[in-house]
Structure 1
Amino acid sequence: MQTQIARDLKRALSKLSSDDNSPGNQSTSSQASKRIRTRTFKGNERFPEFTVGLDGPFMKELKSKLLHGDEQVLNLHGLAGSGKTTLAKILCHDPQVKDKFKDIFFETLGSQFRGNEAIDELQDRLPEFGGNPVLLVLDDVWPASKNVVEEFRVQISAGSKIFVTSRVPIITLGRYPMEQLSEDDAVALFLHFIQPSDIDFDDNEIRKIVLQIVKGCKRLPLALEFIGRELQDKGIEELQKVQLEWSRGQSILDSNSELLAHLQNSLNLLVDESIRECFMDLGLFPEDQKIPVSALIDIWTELYNLDELGICAMTIIRKLMDLNLAAGIKVRRIVRIRRVEDNYYNNHFLVQHDLFRELAIHISNQELFENRKRLIIDMNGNDHPQWWPQQNQQEGITAHALSYFTKWFKDPNQKCVSARILSISTDQDINPDWCNVQADDAIVLVLNLRTTKYTLPEFIKQMRNLRVLIVTNYGFRPSELKNLELLEFLRKLKRIRLEGVSVPPLCRLKNVCKLSLYMCEVKKAFETSSIEFSKAMPGLVELNIDYCKDLAKLPSGLCDTTTLRKLSISHCNEFNELPQEIGKLEKLELLRISYCPDIKDMPESITKLKNLSFLDITYCGSLRKLPDKIGELRSLRKFYMPSCAIMELPDSIKDMDNLQSVICDEYTYPFWEVIKYIHSGLNIKIAKTMDTVLDWLLDLSSRGLFH
C-alpha cells in the first residue's frame, strides 16, 4: 500500500512538472502565474472515461457557436447530473477548440462560492495574456455568483469566450438547455457502469429488465451511474430485485441516499418557503404528463390565498422554470401576438422531470402519516402503496383492512390525517370500491385516471372542507364519469376542472363558482339534464369550455345565471350559435368565443352586456357581421377579432369611449384606423392571416393530430 501511494504521488508530481515546463505552459511570469496555469483544463481536469449522446447535432451546434458564433458567453443549463460538466470537458478536449483557444481555464464555482482564490487570481492576471483568445469554462455556476460571469465578460479580450454550465439559466442571451439522453444512449451508459458482469445482456428477458431500470432512472446520467455502480459485479437476481421494488412503487430515491442528497441540494435554490410548497404540489400529477397551469392556479388560489387572476401563481411558476425545477411551459399557441393580459392560461402546461416529482413525493412521505400535508396515492391494479395495510390479493380489500386504513383517516381515539391535499392516480384495472376513507381536512382532491369508466368513490361526500376538485383522464378515450351527485354534499366546493371525461347530467352544485371543461364530452350534461343550468350552479362566476368537440350550443338556463362574469369557449368546432338571451348576463365582464369556425351570427342582445370589458372572437371564420348597435358596449376595453369574415364595422363602433386595445387582421385594419382618429389612445395590432392559420396548425400538432 505504501509503495503504491508513493508511486502514484511520484507520477502526479512528474505530470505537473512536465505540464508547467511544456512550451504551451512556459511563462516568464511570477509563481502566481504558474499556479494559474496548473488550473488549466489540459493540466488538471480528467477527461471523461466514457460518454454517450455527445456527438449529435446539439454538440455540433455548441461547438459551432463556440468557434464561430458572435455570442461572447454561452450558457449550458439543465438538471443536476444531466451531463453538463461532461459535455464541457469534451468541448475543451476538441482539437479545433484547443487550436483556437491557446489558453483554456476550467474552474468549478458551486453553491458555496465565496471569493474563489483561483477566480480572483485569474481576473488579476488576464491582462498578461494580451490579445490571444482565451476560453474560460465556469462550471456549476449558481445564481449567487452569476456576477462573476459579467465581470469576466468585461475583462476578456476580443475573440475570447466564456462557457458557463449551470442548473438554471444565468444569462439572458446565449442560453442552451441540456438535452435528455435517448433510450439507446441511456442503456449504453447504464451497461458501461454495470460491467464487467457475467450477465448476458443480449438475452431478451434481461434486456427488458434493463429497460425498466433505465426508465426508473429517468434517463438521467447521474442516476444511471449511481445505480449502475451499485449493481456492478452483481448477479441477475440483484437486477430483478431492483425491478421488483420499483414496479411496486418504490422510488429510486428510496434506495440511493447519495442521489437523493444531490437532488435535494437543488432545492437550496428555493429560499421562499411558499415557492417550495408550490414545487411540492407539482408531484400531485402523474409522471410524464403535462401539468395544466389553470389547475395549479385553482389549487394555489384556495390553498395559499393567491389572487383569482393567477398573477402570483404565474410568478411562482416562472420562478420554478428559471430554477429548472420545472422543465418548461408548453403553450398551445392561439394568436402569437396576443399576450396574457386577460390572464387566460387554459392552454398553458407545465412539464416536470420525473425525478423531481419523485423528490417531492419522497419529501412528503418523510412526515408522519397522520401529519402529512399531501397524501399521494398511486394505485395500479392490485399494487398498493407500501403503507397500505396487508390484505388478501385474491379477495380484494377485506373489511379488516378497510377498518385499519379508515382509522388512519378518522378515529375518535386517534388524530385525523391533516392532509390538505389528496391525490389519487389509478389505472384501467382499478376496482371502483378500492377504498372507503375519510379525509375531512382535505381542501384539494386530484383524481388522475386511465380508464374509460370511473365511479367517484363514496368517501368524497364526507370531504366537507373540499374546495377544489381536479379530475383528469389521461387515456385515449373519454372516461365516463359516474356518481357525480356525490358532489351535492360538498357545501364548500368552489372549483371543478374536468379533462378528458364524459360529463354526466348536471347535479345541484350550489356553491361552485368556477367550472372548467377541457377536451370533454358535454352533450349529455348540457342537453339531457333534467335540471336547468342556472339551478344546478346558481352561483357560477366563471365557465371555461375548451376543445369540447360535441358542444353545439350552450346549456338551457345558462343565461339565467346572473352571477356569471367570465364565459370562455374556444376550439369547439361544432359550436354554432350564441343564445339570443345572452344579454341577460348583466354581470358578464369577459366573453371569449375563439376558434369556433361555425359561428355565423352574434345576437343583438349582446349589446345589453353593459359590464363587458373584454370580447374575443378570434378565428370565427363564418362570422360576417357585428350587431349594428355594438357601440353600446361602452365598457369594452379590449376587442380581439382577427381571422373573421367581417369586412366592415358598424358606425356605432365610434361610440366605444373606453376601448383601448384592438387586434384585427389586415382587412379590417383600415376601418379601425379611421376610428383611431376619433379615439387617439386606441392601440391597434394586426394579426396577419397566415400567422393565425399557422398558430391554428401548431395547436393541432401539439395535440398530436398530425406532425
Structure 2
Amino acid sequence: MAVVIIGAIASAFWTLCDSIKQVKDQILMFKPQLADIKSTLDSLTPLIKEMTECEKELDGPDDELENLRMEMEEGVELIRKCSKASRFKKYKYVNRLVELGKSLQRLLGILKLQGIRDVKKALVSVRKIENVVHGIEGNCVIQNNQSHRWCAVPETPRLTVGLDVPLRELKMKLFNDGVSMVVLTAPGGCGKTTLATKFCQDEEVKDKFKSNVFFVTVSKKPNLYLIVQELYHRTGAQVPDFQNDVTAVSWLHQFLKQTGQNPMLVILDDVWDKFILEKFDELKMSNYKILVTSRSTFPRFGSPYHLECLNYEDAMALFHHSASLEDRSSYIPEDLPRKIVERCRGISTCNYSCRKIALRAANRDLAEKNQRIPATILIDIWAELYGIDHIESIANLFELAFRSLADLVVTRKDNRDGDDYYSEHFVTQHDMLRELAIQQMCQDPIEHRERLKIDICGNILPTWWTEQKYQFIKGRLLSIFTDGEFSSEWHNLQLPELEVLILNFQTKNYALPEFVEKMYKLKALILTSDGSLPAELNNFQLVDSLPNLKRIRLERISIPSISRYPIQLKSLKKLSLFMCSIGQGFGNGSIHISEAFPNLVEMNIDYCNDLVELPAQLCDLIQLKKLSVTNSHKLSALPEEIGNLSNLELLRLRSCTNLSELPASIRNLKKLNFLDISDCFSIKELPEDIGEMCSLERLNMRQCSRLNELPSSVVDLEQLKEVTCDEETQILWEPFLPSLKNIHIKVVKEDINLNWLHKLHC
C-alpha cells in the first residue's frame, strides 16, 4: 500500500513543480521569489526520481503518507489560487504557504530516515520557502501601503459605442514593427481614454503584452517623481528615492530597460506637454510600445491617430444610456435629446450637458482637486460650508454618480458596514466637467466669488494678486495649487469670510502663508503634499490664531516638523492624517497633545508607514469619541493606556497587519459600541475580559485568520447585535450562539476592485 502512495506523492510533486513553473512567469512582482522556490523544488527532483525508481517502502503508517499526498495536492490548488488572487488578498494565503513549506520539509525528513541520501543541504534550501513566503507577505504589505500609486488599467464603461473600428485601426497602427509610439488625439470628451482602456483589455493586445501593461494618467501638471514611483510599484520592485529630475529620468530608463526585455505597453493618458514624452521616447527598444492620449498631436513623437466624434446614432444611444432615459423618456419632450446630442456634436460626454445645473454647488466643489478626490475631503468641506452630515454627503456623491456628473469608486465592495468609514471612497470626474465647473466658478468677479481657485506655476502669481487689486475677497473656499518650483514667497491676501482653505504643493519644504493667521472664520484646513516624500511644514504655529478651526487634514506631511510648534486649538474637533510621517511627532512636541487639542472628538490615521506603536499621549485625549488607525502595516502594539479613553465610542484598527494583540485595558472602554479589527490577520487572540465592554454593539473581525478561539467572556456581551466576519471566523462563534440570542452573524466575502488606482497619482 505504501508503494502505491509513494507513486501518488511523486505524481503530486510533479504537478506542484509544474504549477510553480507556470505561476513564476505569470506574477511579475513575485518572479524572483517564485524562481527561488522553483530552484528548491528542482533540488528535490533527483530524490523523488530515486524514490520512485527504487519503489522503496517508507516507514510510517499508510494514513500518514496518505495525508502527506493530500497536502501536496492541496498545495497545487493553493498555488492556483495565489496566482489569481488580487494583491490585497495574497496575504490571506501566507499561512497556508508556510504549511506547504512544512509539508515539503516533512517529506524530506521521511526520505532522510530511509537513508536514500544525505538531504541536509536540500532541507536547508526548502526552509527558504518560509523566508520567501515572509518576503512575499512583506511585499504585499508594501503594496497595500502604496496601492493608490499602481498603474492599473481602468475599467471600461458599461456601454461603449462607435469604438470598434477605431480599435481595429489603432491595433494595426501600433502593432506595426516600425512604430514605437502612437498619439491618439481628439478634442476633450471624444472618448480617448475609453478607447485606450478598450485597447488594453482587447484579447489580442493582452495576448501580445501579457501582464506587461502600464496605464499612467499624466494630466495637466505631471510629476515625474510620482510617475516613476508608480511604475516601480506596479512591478513590486523597491521604489527608489529621487534627488532631482536627472535622477528620476535615470531610474525611469533603468525601469524601461529591465521591464522592456519582454513585450511592454505603456499608456500615457491625458498628456498636455511634450516633457513627459521626451523622457519616455529617449529609449528605442523593439519590444517597447507607447500609446499616448492627448488633445494635441505632438508630431515629433510617433504617428498620430485622430479619433473622430461619434455619429448621430451612436451619440443618441450613449446619451439615452448615460442619462438613464430608458424608463423615463416619456416624461421629457421628444425633441430634447435630439437637440442636446446635436448641440454636443458627437462628443461622447454629451450625456453631461443636460445636467450641468443639477447639484451645481457640489459639482463646483469637485473641481477643487485634480483627478481624484477622497470622499473624506468632500465630507469635511460640505460639513463646514453647508452643515451637511456625512450621511447626506455620501448620498450627494451617489446622486452625482447616478446623474453621470462624477464617478464614485468604493475600493472594497464589501465596505457597507455603515460605520462612517469612507477612506476607501474616491470621486473622479471627467476633465470636461471639471473645466465646466471651474468656468462656472470664474463667472463672478474675483472679489465676489464664493469659491476661489489659484494655480501657481513657479513663482508667477496672478496679476490681480501681485497688484493687490482687491482689498477684500468674499470667498468662503480657497484652493491654492503650487508646483515644485514654488519658493513659498506669499503676497498678502485678505479673505475675512473664508471657511475652507485647501493648499496643495509639491515642494519638500513648505511654509504656510502668513495671511492664514488672519482667517478668523476658517473652519477646515486641508494640506496636501504631492511630493515623493512627506514634506516638512513650516509656520504651522500660524493656525494657533484661528479660534474657529474645527477640522484639519494633512496628507504626506511630516508630523515631527509641526510638533515643535506650540499650538492650542480649543475648537479642533477632527484631525485626519493620511500617509504622513509620524515618527516621534506626538511624543517630542513642545506641548502635550491633550493641551494642543483639548476638545478633539475624532482622529483618523491612515497609511502612516512609520507608525510602529501608537503613542501613549494619544490616550490623554479624553474627549475622543472616534479613533481610526487603518492600513498602518508596521503598527505592532497599542498602549495599555488606551483604556483611559473613557468616552471612546468607535475604535477602528482596520488592516493593521502587524498588530498582534489588543491590550487588556480595552475592557475599560465602557462606551465603545463599535470595534473594527478587520484584516488584522496577526491577532491571535482577543483580550480575556472583552466581555466587560458592556456597550459593544458591533464587531468587525473579517479576515482575522490567526484567531483560533474566542474568550469565554464574549457571552457577557449582551448588547452585541452584529458580528461581521468571514467563513473561517464564523465557526468560532457557533459555540456561543445559544447564549447570544440577539446576535446576527454577517458573513462577507472579499471583493476588492483595484482598477480605479490609475486615477490617483496626482
Same fold, TM-score > 0.5, yes or no: yes
* Greater relative contact order, per chain length (Cα 8 Å cut-off, separation 6+): 2
Q: 1:700 to 1:490 in 2, by over 3 A?
A: farther
Does residue 1:300 correspond to 2:414, yes or no? Answer: no
Give 2:629's aligned residue: 569
Give 2:583's aligned residue: 523
Shift of 1:49: 14
Give 1:269's aligned residue: 355
Identity %: 39
1:98-137 superposed matches below 5 A:
none
Contact 1:640 1:662 in 2 (8 A): yes
Amino acid at match of 2:538: K
2:384 and 2:745 map into 1 onto residues whose CA distance is 37
Q: Deviations over 1:251-285 (max 9, x none)?
A: xxxxxx9899998994542665xx21010111111
2:299 and 2:514 map into 1 onto residues whose CA distance is 35
2:525 and 2:729 map into 1 onto residues whose CA distance is 43
1:213 and 1:585 map into 2 onto residues whose CA distance is 63
Does residue 1:371 correspond to 2:453, yes or no? Answer: no
1:429-578 superposed matches below 5 A:
429-503=485-559, 504-506=561-563, 507-578=567-638
Shift of 1:667: 3.9
Amino acid at match of 1:82: C
Q: Secondary structure at the match of 1:673?
A: helix
Give 1:601's aligned residue: 661
Give 1:332's aligned residue: 411
| Pairing partner for 2:731 from 661, 665, 670 | 670
1:604-683 superposed matches below 5 A:
604-644=664-704, 645-683=706-744
Q: Secondary structure at the match of 1:523?
A: coil
Q: Secondary structure at the match of 2:702?
A: coil
Amino acid at match of 1:518: F
Contact 1:505 1:526 in 2 (8 A): no
Give 2:257's aligned residue: none
Q: 1:357 to 1:182 in 2, by over 3 A?
A: closer
Does residue 1:421 correspond to 2:500, yes or no? Answer: no
1:552 and 1:49 map into 2 onto residues whose CA distance is 50
Does residue 1:291 correspond to 2:373, yes or no? Answer: yes
Shift of 1:208: 11
Q: Secondary structure at the match of 2:552?
A: strand
Q: 1:536 to 1:210 in 2, by over 3 A?
A: same
Runs of 4+ in 1 over 3 A off after TM superposition: 47-57, 79-84, 180-184, 207-214, 219-223, 257-268, 382-385, 665-668, 698-706
Give 1:312's aligned residue: 392
Q: Deviations over 1:334-360 (max 9, x none)?
A: xx5341410200121111111211111
Q: Deviations over 1:625-673 (max 9, x none)?
A: 2111111112111101133322111111011111111122444323312
Q: Secondary structure at the match of 1:527?
A: coil
Q: 1:182 to 1:437 in 2, by over 3 A?
A: closer
Q: 1:559 to 1:268 in 2, by over 3 A?
A: same
Amino acid at match of 1:319: E
Q: 1:566 to 1:56 in 2, by over 3 A?
A: farther
Q: 1:222 to 1:429 in 2, by over 3 A?
A: farther
Shift of 1:431: 2.0
2:607 and 2:548 map into 1 onto residues whose CA distance is 28
Q: Deviations over 1:532-585 (max 9, x none)?
A: 211111110000001000112223422121110000001111111111111111
Contact 1:566 1:590 in 2 (8 A): yes
1:339-418 superposed matches below 5 A:
339-385=416-462, 387-388=463-464, 401=466, 404-405=467-468, 408=470, 410=471, 416-418=472-474
Q: 1:561 to 1:83 in 2, by over 3 A?
A: closer
Shift of 1:674: 2.7
1:338 and 1:418 map into 2 onto residues whose CA distance is 39
Shift of 1:478: 1.7
TM-score (normalizing by structure 1)? 0.58
Residues 617-626 or 562-571, more deviating: 617-626
Residues 546-555 or 661-670, more deviating: 661-670
1:649 and 1:703 map into 2 onto residues whose CA distance is 41
1:617 and 1:49 map into 2 onto residues whose CA distance is 46
Q: 1:261 to 1:439 in 2, by over 3 A?
A: farther
Amino acid at match of 1:576: S
Q: Secondary structure at the match of 2:426?
A: strand
Contact 1:570 1:595 in 2 (8 A): yes
Contact 1:331 1:347 in 2 (8 A): yes
Give 1:246's aligned residue: none
Contact 2:344 2:350 in 1 (8 A): no
1:291 and 1:517 map into 2 onto residues whose CA distance is 15
Give 1:82's aligned residue: 190
Aligned pair count? 454
Residues 340-349 or 539-548, more deviating: 340-349
Give 2:261's aligned residue: none
2:410 and 2:300 map into 1 onto residues whose CA distance is 32
- The answer for unaligned runs of 5 or more in structure 2 is 1-160, 172-186, 196-266, 275-293, 311-342
RMSD: 3.9
Shift of 1:600: 2.2
Q: Secondary structure at the match of 1:476?
A: coil
Q: Secondary structure at the match of 1:378?
A: strand
Give 2:642's aligned residue: 582
Shift of 1:483: 1.2
2:434 and 2:307 map into 1 onto residues whose CA distance is 14
Shift of 1:705: 13
Contact 1:81 1:220 in 2 (8 A): no
Shift of 1:463: 0.6
Amino acid at match of 1:388: W
Amino acid at match of 1:673: E
The structure number with the bigger radius of gyration is 1
Q: Deviations over 1:194-246 (max 9, x none)?
A: xxxxxxxxxxxxx99634999xxxx99669xxxxxxxxxxxxxxxxxxxxxxx
Contact 2:576 2:605 in 1 (8 A): yes
Give 1:237's aligned residue: none
Q: Secondary structure at the match of 1:355?
A: helix
1:453 and 1:515 map into 2 onto residues whose CA distance is 21
2:268 and 2:512 map into 1 onto residues whose CA distance is 39
Q: Secondary structure at the match of 2:190?
A: coil
Q: 1:212 to 1:460 in 2, by over 3 A?
A: farther
Shift of 1:701: 10
Amino acid at match of 2:363: F
Shift of 1:687: 4.6
Does residue 1:322 correspond to 2:402, yes or no? Answer: yes
Contact 1:80 1:266 in 2 (8 A): no
2:538 and 2:496 map into 1 onto residues whose CA distance is 22
Amino acid at match of 1:471: L
Q: 1:649 to 1:546 in 2, by over 3 A?
A: same
1:49 and 1:549 map into 2 onto residues whose CA distance is 43
Q: 1:553 to 1:464 in 2, by over 3 A?
A: same
Contact 1:455 1:482 in 2 (8 A): yes
Q: Deviations over 1:391-437 (max 9, x none)?
A: xxxxxxxxxx4xx32x51x3xxxxx3110000000001112113221
Does residue 1:279 correspond to 2:363, yes or no? Answer: yes
1:213-292 superposed matches below 5 A:
266=352, 268-269=354-355, 275-286=359-370, 289-292=371-374
1:579 and 1:314 map into 2 onto residues whose CA distance is 34
Q: 1:485 to 1:220 in 2, by over 3 A?
A: farther
